[in-house]
Amino acid sequence: MPLLHRAIFAWLALVLTGIPANAAEFSEVRPIGFSADGSVFAFEEFGVQDGSGFPFASRFFIDTATDSFLPGSAVRIIIDDENKSVADARAAAAAQSGDLEEKYNFSANPGVIAAFNPFSELDGNAHQLRYLPLSVVPAFFKPYAAQLTEKPLPSSQACNSITETRLGFRLEMTEVEGKPVSILLHEDSSLPESRHCPTGYRLGGVVTHYADGIWTHAFLVLFQSFGFEGEHGRWMAVTRRFE
């Protein structure tokens, strides 16, 4: 069969069956909020796993002063039942972290989504954001900007058969209150196994919070890696406080 005919046949098969050639998935992300003083930031991600079709939901809690997880706080739920929904997974994750969320009262301090730049944004700069920390007219706040740079790192044994190098990233603040700066926010020297075999990153958004003269910025970073049926996307956060 000629190549063109094979391509048309494959396309028709996909259209008629409704099954995509690569069913890899990108999780959704939502800020949960901040503690009243901005010292803790929480967010969730959720979706349906490629391959299994199982719904999942995770909730993460970050100490914004140290940019590290609160010990033992991460919640990861996978429901091994494709008949269950993402709503079921999100509800289970919220129930498991209920005591922590009540302690920090995140719902009273949702923060401000100062910038949002997901993978589906076709005209956005994947590695750069420039934004105001709060939406207000007139804009009496001055802008902030951040730059993400991908960097190759040695592959792990688990990823050797997939890729020769795993990508890490460096995140730098390049503007604070309208002034050029060079402030390192994050730089990978090695990679946690939770990122699997990363193939790319996107600076996907910034959530801000203000209290007692301190701005807290939480940068949402999307990382791509090889999943069961192709590349998929997961979220992480990098935090910084500005006095």
Q: Which long-range contacts (CB under 8 A, 24 or more apart) does 179-184 make?
A: 179/142, 183/240
Q: What mean pLDDT do residues 13-39 have?
A: 72
Q: What is the pLDDT of residues 173-201, one digit of tens each?
A: 999 999 999 999 999 999 888 888 899 99
Q: What is the pLDDT of residue 23?
A: 52
Q: What is the pTM of this model?
A: 0.87
Residue linked to tokens 């959704």: 28
CA distance 171 to 47: 26
Q: What is the pLDDT of residues 232-242, one digit of tens each?
A: 899 999 999 99
Output the six-digit token pair for 77.
């739920």
Domain count, the chain: 1
Q: What mean pLDDT do residues 137-145 have?
A: 90
What is the span of the domain harbouring residue 54?
Answer: 3-242
Q: What is the pLDDT of residue 227?
A: 64
Q: Which long-range contacts (CB under 8 A, 24 or more apart) does 212-216 make?
A: 212/37, 213/243, 214/37, 214/38, 214/241, 214/242, 214/243, 215/38, 215/133, 215/241, 215/242, 216/34, 216/38, 216/39, 216/41, 216/64, 216/240, 216/241, 216/242
Grouping H, G, I as helix, E, B as strand and the rest as coil, residue 101 is helix
Give the CA angle between residues 97, 27, 207 to the nearest 5°.
70
